[in-house]
Amino acid sequence: MVTLPVLVTVMVYTITSPAAFTVLTSAVLFMLRLGNLSNNCVSESVAVTSPLY
Sequence ranges of the domains in the chain: 3-52
What pLDDT is recorded for position 14? 65
CA angle 45, 22, 15 (to 5 degrees): 55
What gap in Å lies between CA 40 and CA 45, rounded to an integer?
9
Tell me the per-residue pLDDT of 7-43, one tens digit each, with 9 for 90 and over. 788 677 767 777 667 777 787 777 777 655 555 655 6
What gap in Å lies between CA 6 and CA 24, rounded to an integer?
10
What pTM was computed for the model? Answer: 0.31
SS3 state of residue 33: coil
Residue 10: enclosing H or E segment and its boundaries? helix 3-16
What pLDDT is recorded for position 52? 54
What pLDDT is recorded for position 37? 52
Has residue 48 got a pLDDT over 60? yes
